[in-house]
């Protein structure tokens, strides 16, 4: 049996999405910027896709710009805020994805902004009182805090952060890569300035995503050239990808209730089984509280925390991960686990579930984990 429990890294393409992309790939080769019929046909795909996404998020099409994925959209929001919206201080956290953390660190390093990190609570959640304190002490602020943490699954109280940002007149960017199309956003009700999506995290194609930018902010292109994307992102659009992105998003919203119930069921089953069968395994982050239903991060006991751990899962047909960039099986690779500062002598093992996973697969992984404990030196 082969088990893929690395859906936070990427997800398999939904066959319905492929079916939507194939005719466009095969037949509709025009350049959407061309004014002849070939181009106009493709332009219609582009704008229909934008409309679909805008409608699902309850925003206007002009507030959606297609990008190459989450990283580019995060960069566009952060760099654009500093270059064009007068931001001089960024408030962020040490557990952001590198798409955000490396971007804000570079801007701070080059003297473009002051960077302030908000404190974290022992379970890895953002310390909201400290955030408020930082907001009250700084002006011209961009708050950049991720909605769902890709390694430990913690969910930000995004409504509260939005409200604080409004109260203190700060811009708010949330890296929503792990929550987009997994939770139903309504950006009329939830007031933020920037949010992002990456199709490959919700059974769409890789290399395509979007930035949502609230119309009250006038942003400028980060990539310059032609006038594509309403002059906000130059370069001929990835039409097949964009069609796939919109289709994946449509399917995700259509099936959201069923899908989230199914995936939550798998995660909860795994948590309960682990508590019963392997009580020495701990959970990183707030696994049983405010947490993504797709992500479960296990802290393996020290006697099993060796550099072979992840490799052995892989050898036994189980695809999991040690975090976003950690492949060593030791926790030194995860800036998120280090940032939270708990279970540091325990190897983190992230299991992330998707709609195509089954309970049989969870049982298979649990049975494999039982063999690890049987063979452990002093378990
Ligand atoms: C939270 C988060 N932000 C940003 C990204 C980057 O997205 P992409 O791979 O589409 O550039 C990822 C993907 O790993 C992510 O999990």
pLDDT over threshold 70, residue 298: yes
Task: Look up the pTM and report it.
Answer: 0.96
Per DSSP, the residues of 150-203 read TTT-BB--HHHHHHHHHHTT-EEEE--TTTBTTB---TTTS--SEEEEEGGGGT
Burial 242-252 (b: 16+ CB within 10 A, else e): bbbbbbbbbbb
Per DSSP, the residues of 201-219 read GGTS-SS-EEEEE-TTS--
pLDDT over threshold 60, residue 325: no
Q: How far is the CA of 379 from the centre of ligand 1 (A)?
A: 36
Q: Are strands 171-174 and 141-144 parallel, antiparallel or unpaired?
A: parallel
* Cβ partners under 8 Å of residue 9, min gap 6: 321, 324, 352
Atom 15, ligand 1: residue with shortest CA distance: 177
Q: Is 165 labeled as catalytic in the residue annotation?
A: no
Given this model, what pLDDT does residue 333 score?
Answer: 76
Given this model, what pLDDT does residue 324 score?
Answer: 62
Helix (H, G, I), strand (E, B), or coil: what is residue 297? strand
pLDDT over threshold 60, residue 330: no
Q: 213: closest CA among 78, 106, 120?
A: 78
pLDDT over threshold 80, residue 76: yes
Output the CA torsion sign for 289, 292, 297, 298: positive
Quickly state the pLDDT bin for 332 (edges 50, 70, 90). low
**115-173 tens-digit pLDDT:** 999 999 999 999 999 999 999 999 999 999 999 999 999 999 999 999 999 999 999 99
Write out the two tokens for 262.
């199914």
**157-201 tens-digit pLDDT:** 999 999 999 999 999 999 999 999 999 999 999 999 999 999 999
294 lines ligand 1 (CB under 6 A): no
Q: How far is the CA of 39 from the centre of ligand 1 (A)?
A: 31
Q: What percent of the chain has pLDDT over 70?
A: 97
Q: 150: closest CA among 356, 11, 307, 305?
A: 11
Q: Average of pLDDT values for 200-211?
A: 98
Q: 288: closest CA among 177, 154, 165?
A: 154
Atom 5, ligand 1: residue with shortest CA distance: 70
Q: Average of pLDDT values for 83-106?
A: 98
Quickly state the pLDDT bin for 331 (edges 50, 70, 90). very low
Mean residue pLDDT across the chain: 95
């Amino acid at each position: 049996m082969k088990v893929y429990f690395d859906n936070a890294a990427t997800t398999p393409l939904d066959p319905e999405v492929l079916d939507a992309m194939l005719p466009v790939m095969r037949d509709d080769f025009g350049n959407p910027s061309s004014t002849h019929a070939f181009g106009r046909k493709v332009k219609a795909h582009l704008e229909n896709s934008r409309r679909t996404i805008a409608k699902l998020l309850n925003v206007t099409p002009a507030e959606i710009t297609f990008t190459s994925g989450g990283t580019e959209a995060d960069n566009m929001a952060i760099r654009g805020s500093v270059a064009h919206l007068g931001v001089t201080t960024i408030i962020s956290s040490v557990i952001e994805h590198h798409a955000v953390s490396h971007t804000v660190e570079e801007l701070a390093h080059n003297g473009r902004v002051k960077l302030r990190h908000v404190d974290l609570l022992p379970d890895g959640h953002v310390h909201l009182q400290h955030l408020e304190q930082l907001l009250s002490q700084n002006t011209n602020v961009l708050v950049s805090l991720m909605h769902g943490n890709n390694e430990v699954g913690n969910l930000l109280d995004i409504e509260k952060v939005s409200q604080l940002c409004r109260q203190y007149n700060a811009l708010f960017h949330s890296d929503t890569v792990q929550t987009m199309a997994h939770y139903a956003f309504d950006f009329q009700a939830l007031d933020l300035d920037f949010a992002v999506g990456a199709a490959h995290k919700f059974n769409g194609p890789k290399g395509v995503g979007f930035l949502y930018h609230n119309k009250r902010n006038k942003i400028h292109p980060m990539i310059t050239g032609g006038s594509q994307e309403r002059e906000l992102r130059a370069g001929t659009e990835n039409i097949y990808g964009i069609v796939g992105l919109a289709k994946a998003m449509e399917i995700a919203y259509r099936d959201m209730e069923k899908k989230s119930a199914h995936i939550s069921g798998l995660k909860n089953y795994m948590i309960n089984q682990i508590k019963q069968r392997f009580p020495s395994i701990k959970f990183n982050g707030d696994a049983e509280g405010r947490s993504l239903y797709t992500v479960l991060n296990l802290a393996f006991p020290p006697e099993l925390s060796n550099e072979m751990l992840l490799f052995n899962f892989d050898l036994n047909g189980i695809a999991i991960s040690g975090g976003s960039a950690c492949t060593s099986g030791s926790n030194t690779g995860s800036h998120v686990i280090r940032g939270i500062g708990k279970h540091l002598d325990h190897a983190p093992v992230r299991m992330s579930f998707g709609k195509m996973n089954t309970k049989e697969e969870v049982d298979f992984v649990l049975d494999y984990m039982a063999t690890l404990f049987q063979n452990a030196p002093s378990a």
